[in-house]
Amino acid sequence: MSLETNAPAAEPNDAVDRLEAVSDTALALLSLDDLLHELLARVKRILAADTAAIFLLDGDVLVERAATGLEEEDTREVRIPVGAGFVGRVAADRHPVAIENVDRAQLAHPVLRESGIRSLLGVPILFEGRVVGVLHVGTLQPRQFRRADAQLLQVVADRIGLGIEYSRLYEQERNARARSEVEQRRSRFLANVSALLATTPDYEPTLRNLARLAVPELGDWCVIDMLGEQGLMRRVAVAHVDPTKESLGWELERRYPMRPDDAYSPARVARTGRPQLVAEVTEAILAEAARDVTHLDLLHQLGLASAITVPLVARGRTLGTLSVAISASGRRYTQEDLIFMEEVAARAALAVDNARLYREAQETSRLKDEFLATLSHELRTPLTSVLAWMWMLRRGRLDQPAAERARETMEKSIRSLLHIIDDLLDVSRAIRGQLRLDVRPIGLVPVIQAAVDAVRPAASARDIRLRTTIDADAGPIQGDASRLQQVIWNLLINAIKFTPVGGRVHVRLERDDSSAIVTVSDSGPGVPREFLPHVFERFRQADAGSTRAQGGLGLGLDIVRHLIELHGGTVKVDSPGEMGGATFTVTVPLHEPERAAAAEAGAPAEPARPELAIAPSSALDGARVLVVDDEADAREVLSVLLTGAGAEVRTSASAAEALDVLKRWQPDVLVADIAMPGEDGYELLSRVRDLAPRQGGETPALALTAYAHPEDRERALSAGFHDYIPKPFEPPSLVMAIARLARTRRATRRRAAAPRPGGLIMLVEDDPGTCEYSCAVLRDCGYRVLTAQSGEEALRVWAKHRGEIDLIVTDLMMPRSSGVDVYRTLRAEQADVPIIIVSGYPLVAEMLGARQEGVVECLEKPVAPEQLAASVRRALAREAWAG
C-alpha cells in the first residue's frame, strides 16, 4: 500500500495541461451528473487507468455516484460505510491509499475483485477541509502507483470537490428559482381561482369553469363531484387538455356510478374526508379499481399516470371532491402537489358553501316575504268581516236575525285572529327553545276524543265523515295533555281543510311494543311528492300563491313537529300523490304499565276551544273592583263589563293613582295590567303588599295582561297575584274569577272583624306564666286553645288533634327542641298549618331564618294583648286564602 517514487507516471507537462482542462471543466459544467462523468473520463486518460469511480458522502455512507471503465454488466450501486473497505479507508484516513494487488488486499470490495481490477489508487475529495467523497482509479494489470500519481489525482480530486460544490450551489439556486416560479405560478392560479369563485353565487357553472382553469395548469384531467342526497355522488364538471376526451369522464360515471367503498374512488375520499395521492397509477391499481373488463378498458382509455383526489370541506362539512390527473406529460404528483390541491379545494368548498348559504338566505327572504303577504291576508280577511258587520250594526240597518248572524261572524273572525296569534307565539317560543311541557302520565284516549269533539262541527259543516278507531290499551304516555290535544287538533283541522266536501277523515290510535301510534288520514288531494320533505318546515306551503285554495300561515305542522319531538316522539307524512290523500303518523313512547290505570281514569282533556257560560248580571253582587290599566279603551270596556255584572267599579290609569284609590276606597279585588309606563303591575303589587292590612295591603289581586306565555303566568303568581288571565279574555271567565276573589275577600273581612268561635290554636310555651297569659288573651278573643310546654309535648298534642288545629303559636327557644324544629317536623308530615313565632331572642337573623321555614309572623317578647290578637287574625285570614 506504499507509493513508489520510481514507478512510471504521466508526463508532467501533459498532466498539467490536462489538469487545466479538468479545472476548466469543473468550473464550466454545472450539471452535476455530466460533470462527474466528464471528470472521470479525463482522470482515466491522465493517469492511464482502466477504471475510475467517484463515491459521494451521504451521511455516514459513501455511495457510488459515477463510474467508468467497467462493463455494463459489472456496474451496480455500491454503498460503503466510512472506514470500511478500500473506499471507506480513504474517507476515514483523509489521505491517499494505494493497493498494488487487489487479490491479496483485505480492503478490496468483492465487486473490485469480480471486475478484474488488480491495482487501485484512491484519494479523498475535499472541500474546505471536509470530506465530500472519494475518487479512485484502477488498472487491470498490476501496477505500483507513484507518489506523483497520488499528488496528481489529489489535485484532480480537489478540482472535483470544487466543481461538485459549485454544481451543488448551482443546483440549489436553480431549484430555488424553479420553486419560486412554481410558487408564483400557483399564487397566480389561486388568485384566478378566487376571482372565478367570486363571480357568481351559482356554484355549478363556477365549478365547471374551475375545472377548465385547472387544465393544464394542475394536470391533464380535472373532475369535480358533489355529494347529493343520501350521500350519493353527482359529477358536475369534467375537463381535459383534449376536450374531445371529456366525454370519457361523463361516460365512466354514467356507466359505473361511484360507490363509497370503491377502491381509489372519489366517493371513498368524500366518505373518509381524507385526501388521496396516487403518485404512479400502475396496472395493479387499475385492476383493483375496475369492476369488470369493460370498466378496466375505460380506465385504460383515460391514460392516467398519476392522480390526486381531495375532499371539498367547508365549515366541517364534506361537500364533494376535486380530482386531478396526469396522463401524457409524464410528470408525477408529489406531496407538495397534494398540499396545494388541498388549498385549491378549501377555496372552492368555501365558495360552494357560501353559495349554498346565499341561496338559503334568498329562500328565507322569499319565504319571509311570502309569509308576511300570507299573514296580511289571513289578518285582513277576518278584520274586513268584523269592520263591515260593525259598520252595519252601528247604523241599525240589520234586522234581528241578521244582527245575530253579524255577532256570530264577528266572534268567529276574532277567534280566528286569536288562533293566528297563538300559533305565532308557539313558533316564537319553539325557535327560542322556550316551549315548555307540563309532563305527567296521561291516557291518549280522552286527549284524542276531546280533539275530535272540538273539530266535529267543522267536519259536519263540510259533510266530512269523521271516524275514529281507538285501541284503549294504547297508553299511557308521559306527556302534556293540552299540548298533545293541540297536536291532534292541528292534524285534524289540516285534514278537514284539504278534504273535499263529502270526504273522509280517519283517526286511529294503536300501539306497538314500546310506542303509542296515532294516525290521521284523509281522502283529500294528497301532498305533491316534491313537497313531502318540506311539509313540517315553518312558513312552507305546497300552494303559497295568490290563487291558493286553502288559507293558513303554514305554521301548524311545524308546531306539531316541535311538540312531538319535545315528547321524545316522531311525526311523518305519507302520500301516494295526486288525489291519493295523506296520512300523518305520530309516534310517542309509552309510559310504564303500572301507571296506566291512573292515567286512563284521569279527567278527560278539555275541548280545544270550549264555549263558556254567560255570567249572570248579579255575579259580582256589589263587589268593589279597582281596575288599573294605562289604556283608556281597556279601562272603559272593563268598567262597563264589570258594572253590568253587578260590581262597583273604579278605574286608575297608573300605579300611583291606583295606590291612592286603594287606600281610600278599600276595594274587594284589584285588577291590574302588567305592562304600564312608569311603574308596571309587578311594582304596583309590591307597593300594595307593603301597605298595612287596614290600608288594603291584603287586597286580592288579579293580573290581566297581554303577556300570555306560560312563564308569564308563573311569574305573576309568584309575584303575589292570586289569579292570572291573559288578554284577550273571555268576559265570563274574567267575571267568574273576580267573583271568586271577591267572595273570599268578604269572608276574610268577616272573620277578621269578629272573634272566631271554634278556631283551635295550639300554644307551645315552656314558661308557665307566659303560657297562662297568652291562653287568656286568645280565649278572650273567642278561640279554643290547646297548650304544650315542650316540643315533644307539642308533637304529641298535634298527633292527637291532627286536622283540627288551625294555627300554632310557639316560643322560639325551648329546651331540647325549638319552635322551628317543631314546625320542620310538621312540614315533613305535610302538615300545612300556619305558625306564629313568639320569642325574646334578640337576633333578627334568627327571626328571618324562621320566616324562611314558612312561618307567617314573628313577634318579639313582650307581646301586647292586641298585638297577639291581631297577629292571630291575620294568620287565620291567610289560612282562609290558602283554602
Coil, helix or strand for 404? helix
| DSSP H or E stretch at residue 791 | helix 791-800
Residue 307 CB neighbour total at 10 angstroms = 23
Mean pLDDT (the chain) is 80
Strand 807-811 with 306-314, pairing = unpaired
Q: What is the pLDDT of residues 528-580, one digit of tens each?
A: 887 787 788 766 665 544 333 444 556 778 888 888 888 888 999 998 877 77
* Alpha carbon distance 637, 641 (integer Å): 6
Average pLDDT, integer, range 380-394: 77
pLDDT at residue 658 in the model = 94
pLDDT at residue 124 in the model = 94
- Beta bridge partners, 66, equal 54
pLDDT at residue 442 in the model = 87
Residue 321 reports pLDDT greater than 90? yes
Residue 749 reports pLDDT greater than 70? no
50 residue type, one letter: D
All three cell numbers of 185, joined, read: 405560478
pLDDT at residue 4 in the model = 54
Q: Name the more confident of 820 and 59.
A: 59
195 residue type, one letter: A
Residue 875 reports pLDDT greater than 70? yes
What are the start-end ranges of the H helices in 666-705? Answer: 681-689
Asked if residue 347 lies in contact with residue 206, where contact means CB atoms within 8 angstroms, the answer is no
Q: What is the pLDDT of residues 206-234, one digit of tens each?
A: 888 888 888 888 889 999 999 887 778 89
pLDDT at residue 432 in the model = 66
Residue 376 reports pLDDT greater than 90? no
From the options 3.40.50.1100, 3.30.390.30, 3.40.980.10, 3.30.450.40, give the CATH code of 12-172.
3.30.450.40
For residue 754, name the pLDDT band (cuts at 50, 70, 90): low
Q: Name the more confident of 866 and 845.
A: 866
Cα distances from 140 to residues 3, 52, 132, 145, in angstroms, run 18, 12, 27, 13
Q: Which CATH class is domain 624-751?
A: alpha beta
Q: What is the pLDDT of residues 149-162, one digit of tens each?
A: 888 888 888 887 88
According to CATH, where is 3.40.50.2300 located in the chain?
Answer: 624-751, 760-882
- Which pTM value belongs to this model? 0.45
pLDDT at residue 751 in the model = 57
pLDDT at residue 628 in the model = 95
According to CATH, where is 3.30.565.10 located in the chain?
Answer: 436-600
Min mean pLDDT across 567-581, 609-623, 673-687, 794-808 is at 609-623
Helices 147-197/12-28 angle, 10° precision: 10
Residue 797 reports pLDDT greater than 70? yes
According to CATH, where is 3.30.450.40 located in the chain?
Answer: 12-172, 199-360
Contacts of residue 660, defined as CB under 8 A and 6 or more positions apart, other chains included, come to: none
Of 31-45, 270-284, 754-768, the range with the highest mean pLDDT is 270-284
Q: What is the pLDDT of residues 253-290, one digit of tens each?
A: 899 998 888 888 899 999 999 999 999 999 999 999 99
| Chain position carrying cell 498494488 | 100
pLDDT at residue 727 in the model = 81
Q: What is the pLDDT of residues 461-519, one digit of tens each?
A: 889 999 999 888 787 888 888 888 888 988 998 898 889 898 999 999 998 878 899 99
pLDDT at residue 330 in the model = 72
CA gyration radius, the chain? 49
pLDDT at residue 845 in the model = 35
**Would you call 708 exposed, middle or buried from its count of C-beta atoms within 10 A (0-12, 13-18, 19+)?**
middle
pLDDT at residue 1 in the model = 55
* Alpha carbon distance 266, 228 (integer Å): 13
Q: What is the pLDDT of residues 87-111, one digit of tens each?
A: 888 999 899 988 888 877 777 767 7
Residue 200 reports pLDDT greater than 70? no
CATH node for 760-882: 3.40.50.2300
High-pLDDT (> 70) share of the chain, %: 82
Q: Name the more confident of 703 and 831.
A: 703
For residue 841, name the pLDDT band (cuts at 50, 70, 90): low
Average pLDDT, integer, range 514-529: 88
Asked: is 436-600 a CATH 3.30.565.10 domain? The reply is: yes
High-pLDDT (> 90) share of the chain, %: 18
From the options 3.90.550.10, 3.30.2030.30, 3.30.450.40, 3.30.420.40, give the CATH code of 199-360.
3.30.450.40
